[in-house]
Amino acid sequence: MRTFFFAASALLLSAPSVSAQPKQDFSKVQIKATKVGEGVFMLEGAGGNLALSVGKDGGVLIDDQFAPLAPKIVAAARKAGAAKVKFVVNTHWHGDHTGGNENLGKTGAVVVAHENVRKRMSSEQFIQMMNTTVPAAPAGALPVVTFTSDVTFHLNGDTIHVLHVEPAHTDGDSIVHFTKANVLHMGDTMMTVSYPFVDIGSGGRYSGFIAAADRALALANDATVIIPGHGPVTNRAGLQAWRDMLVTIRAAVAKLVAQGKTLEQIQAAKPTAAWDAEWGQKFIKPDVLISAVYADVRSK
Ligand SMILES: [Zn+2]
């Protein structure tokens, strides 16, 4: 059932139940491009946020949303200054970040990702939280260049560093640092509209979100523009607040676990209450987050 990602992306914006969502109509979706740094744009349509490096060497696109949007993304990239998209980088395997791979590949773009992205896209996956099976992607959608630790693009006068971080949202997560433009794309290791989604079936771990935030904080300064996987852009202070929220919630849950409390008792104690208004209203509800933190604490 491929409709999951359509529903999930809609959920990030609104709220209701996943199964009740009709298949999303992409005909009305517009791709909005916003300049976020020298030669770097953020593109928004439906699905995860995109980043795009433009210049004489051709476009480097970070993530590509859904298949039907590829022509609109290519058009938006051209308008922003990339005559052709030369490379696509996938921050992880989920369909709202990789759906355009096949169509962009047909235009000549080379798709690059961590090896676990290709591995997961190559076979059927099950997303436990959504109770959803995602079929293997067609061969033409798979990344053709894979890496294990990191890869660097020297294009458009920038140095674009793609770093695999330890498993957080999935086991194939990368963050992308446009070092000259001073822009960071976090993939789904950060969202500005929701608590983290720990896709445990895809090898994700709650602690990994803290590690990814620490990695990004070490690269950022006060002028860095930070693009989350979903939601509006933020800055280093926003990332720090996110990281502090993750750490404080983990400590609160760990304390309750140490007291011998069950998951249900911990959920009832509402250790996330101080943050629920800001992060717990949309995609990931407090109880879902707490069960992910609980699993993480128990696994240590
Ligand atoms: Zn995702």
pLDDT in tens, 98-107: 999 999 999 9
State the residue for tokens 């602690």.
207
The alpha carbon of 167 and the centre of ligand 1 are apart by a number of angstroms equal to: 12
Report how far ligand 1's centroid is from the alpha carbon of 58 (Å): 26
Residue 242 has pLDDT above 60, yes or no: yes
Give the residue among 94, 102, 103 at the shortest CA–CA distance from 143: 102
Closest CA to 249 of 226, 280, 220: 280
Q: List the chain domain ranges.
A: 3-238
pLDDT value, residue 15: 30
CA of 169 to the centre of ligand 1 (A): 7
CA distance 146 to 174: 12
pTM for the model stands at 0.92
Ligand 1 centroid to residue 113 C-alpha, Å: 14
Q: Which two tokens stand for residue 226?
A: 């930070």
Res 12 pLDDT > 70: no
What's the CA gap between 184 and 51, in Å, rounded? 9
Q: What is the SS3 assignment for 2?
A: coil
Quote the CA–CA distance of 166 and 187 in Å, as a whole number.
13
Yes or no: is domain 3-238 CATH 3.40.50.1110?
A: no
What's the pLDDT tens digit per position in 138-163? Answer: 999 999 999 999 999 999 999 999 99
Q: 12 CA to middle of ligand 1, Å?
A: 11
Residue with tokens 């791709």: 31
**What local confidence, expressed as pLDDT, does residue 23 receive?**
67
State residue 14's pLDDT score. 32
- 237-242's contacts with Cβ under 8 Å and 24+ in sequence apart are 238/192, 239/186, 239/190, 239/213, 242/190, 242/192, 242/213
Q: How many CA atoms lie within 13 A of 49 on its CB side?
A: 29
The percentage of residues in the chain with a pLDDT greater than 90, rounded to a whole number, is: 88
62 CA to centre of ligand 1 in angstroms: 13
Average pLDDT estimate for 92-102: 96
- Inform me whether the pLDDT recorded for 8 exceeds 80: no
Dist. CA 258 → ligand 1 center (Å) = 31
Q: Which residues contact 62 (CB under 8 A, 6 or more apart)?
A: 50, 51, 52, 88, 89, 91, 176, 185
